[in-house]
Amino acid sequence: MKKVGILNFHFSRWNYGAILQASALDYAINREGYQAEHIDLVPKRTKPVSSYSSTIPDRNRFADNPEVFDDFRNQWMHKSQKRYETIEELENASFSYDGIVVGSDGVWSYNCTGDFWSAYFIQFADDTIQKISYAPSFGMPVYDAADNIELVEDVKRELARFNSISVREISGIDVLKKTFKIDTSNVVHVLDPTLLVGESYFQKILDVEKPDVSHISKIVYHKATHDPDLGDTLRHIEKEYDVKPENILSQKYNTENDEPRYKFSTVPEWILKIKNSQVVITDSYHCVCLAILFRKKLIHLPSPTSPNPYKDCRLISLFGLLKQNFDQISVNHDSIRNCDLFEDFLHYPTIENELAVQRKLSLVFLKTALRKL
């Protein structure tokens, strides 16, 4: 059986989407008859990789029970026996993989990887190992380190060593062509792994884990980044609809000393809360993906303080693929107070037809790339 290593942000201790896309890709490759595992790269950093971390509320990053993500990884991912924390450890390792797949998520964004950029272009592996990208994202329609000429040349050199390349956003093809001067005639636009495996995979997780969620909320929200206007909007929703929106990312509780603390939902609980809801409000790419798979009424509410001027490009690409008008579901705080949250903005029969088509194309790319091993 051919062995495949996978590289992405599987190690997150607060990001549900990063973990679920990693688990989904692991599942998809193993399902095709390969022995796949995540290369357990957990970058050891001395400073934050970018200013993005400063936009994430402490309650989202430092809740009391980050072990819930380890519990999910242990159950739903395959990992290498050895953990790697530095580029040097990767370079000195003797890997026995027939191929390495990088993706999905923002693994080709320098703002996300920083000094570890070379790991996610598989620089450490020699050419006896096939190199495949499945749905990596640049995070925006430009390369965020394009002004670093030396780095651009280094990335270009590593891209030329890939045997099969796909990207998650259509804009990624333009970045490859214009910034790195790559021949993109064989580059494929594919679905995120969560959409590739579809609803059945997440239902399988729920069937096995049987998360206990006693209260079902009609309206749930997942806001990853700081949003100073969120409180007023939530109070308006509660007054207008007589429903208290539930934060599915982290919940507040008080200690015996009456100190406010926070805890994460388990990953299966997070999935189930989306499934059980009627309306999902979020600024998270993968929360949008899960809401689509479970056919929810969906509101995209980006933070007005987001540092990324292209923050919507990832979802614009996705909704274009699904033949839906992204502007109908992406709102600001003023407009959310003047719309009907329970209105059907999305046409799910069209979405499901397009997902079926794109799922087939994405799977053809993955199977074809893996057959070269």
Place of tokens 């997440």: 202
DSSP E strands in the chain: the ranges are: 3-7, 35-41, 79-84, 99-102, 130-133, 166-167, 188-189, 219-222, 246-247, 250-254, 260-264, 279-282, 297-300
Q: What is the pLDDT of residues 329-360, one digit of tens each?
A: 888 888 888 888 998 889 999 999 999 999 99
pLDDT of residue 107: 96
Amino acid present at 188: V
Closest C-alpha to 370, from 134, 189, 172:
134
Task: Give all domains of the chain, ordered by start, each with its CATH number.
Answer: 3-197+356-371 (3.40.50), 199-355 (3.40.50)
| Contact (Cβ atoms closer than 8 angstroms) between residue 350 and residue 325 | no
Flag whether pLDDT at 55 surpasses 70: no
Q: Work out the average pLDDT over 288-297.
A: 97
Model pLDDT for residues 214-263, shown as the tens digit of each residue: 778 999 999 988 888 999 999 999 999 999 999 998 887 777 777 778 88
Please give the angle made by the CA atoms of 16, 324 and 288, to the nearest 5 degrees: 10
The pLDDT value given to residue 47:
52
Label residue 310 by pLDDT band (50, 70, 90). Answer: low
For position 307, what pLDDT does the model report?
Answer: 53
Q: Do 145 and 177 touch, CB atoms closer than 8 A? A: no
* pLDDT at 311 exceeding the cut of 70: no
Whether pLDDT at 88 is above 80: yes
> Is residue 197 scored above 70 in pLDDT?
yes
The mean of the pLDDT values for the chain is 91
How distant, in Å, are the alpha carbons of 87, 123, 164, 228, 262 from that of 248? Answer: 35, 38, 37, 18, 12
State the angle between helix axes of 16-31 and 348-371 in degrees (0 to 180), rounded to the nearest 10. 60
pLDDT band at residue 304 using 50, 70 and 90 as cut-offs: confident
Q: What angle do CA 373, 170, 102 make, to 5 degrees?
A: 35
